[in-house]
Homo-oligomer: A and B are copies of this chain.
Amino acid sequence: MAGRPKIYDETAILDKAVEVFWEKGYANATADDLLHAMGIGKGSFYFAFKGGKEELFRKSMERVVELNFKAIRDALTTCADPVQFIKDFFLSLTGNESPVGNKGCYFGNALIQVSADDAGLKMIAAKYLHLLEEIFTEAVQKGKDLGLLQTQEPAAALGTYLVNLWNGINVTRRMEPDQRKLADLVRMNLKILD
């Protein structure tokens, strides 16, 4: 168990890579962009990520799930009113202070940016979006169990509805700078949770 120690923190440089991918998109992010942002040399990079750019992106997706989705899930399991939480979450997407900024959804972006022959990455992105769908579904189910929802719709259908809303907003944000219009749009969609 000897050996020269890493001089960087693996999660720290992953976070840097996430930033670059999110900002520039998978296809447009060059290895140089990434290395520069991560602040490591090619040697270290190809040593740590033998699969090159693709492996880095795969790990960066894991990291984003860990940082973002898991946080949502945790918050949902502890909060008293999951329905209100969902509503607040979506409304928060329409403001400047959005956690996502204008960069969209990491996974939705991936589905659209990754070239067709990288089917593996696409499948992973799809899988994580399904995870988000599940999280929404669980929240709705919990809301139903608590008697907070009148709707006849099954929780799973509402989960699908919400992940589709998420996908939509993350594109619509980019064409619609008017935050009031976005907020109205979200509110209109959230009526389904009354």
Contacts and interface: CB of A to CB of B under 8 A. Distances in A.
Interface of A: 23-25, 27-28, 104, 108-109, 111-113, 115-116, 122, 125-126, 129-130, 153, 157, 160-161, 163-172, 174-176, 181, 184-185, 188-189, 192
Main secondary structure of the interface of A (DSSP, over half): helix
A160 B175 contact: no
A122 B111 CA distance: 18
A184 B158 CA distance: 10
B174 A111 contact: yes
Given A157-B185, A168-B169, 16 more contacts: A23-B116, A25-B112, A27-B113, A108-B171, A109-B112, A111-B175, A113-B113, A122-B174, A130-B175, A164-B169, A164-B171, A164-B185, A164-B189, A167-B172, A168-B168, A170-B171
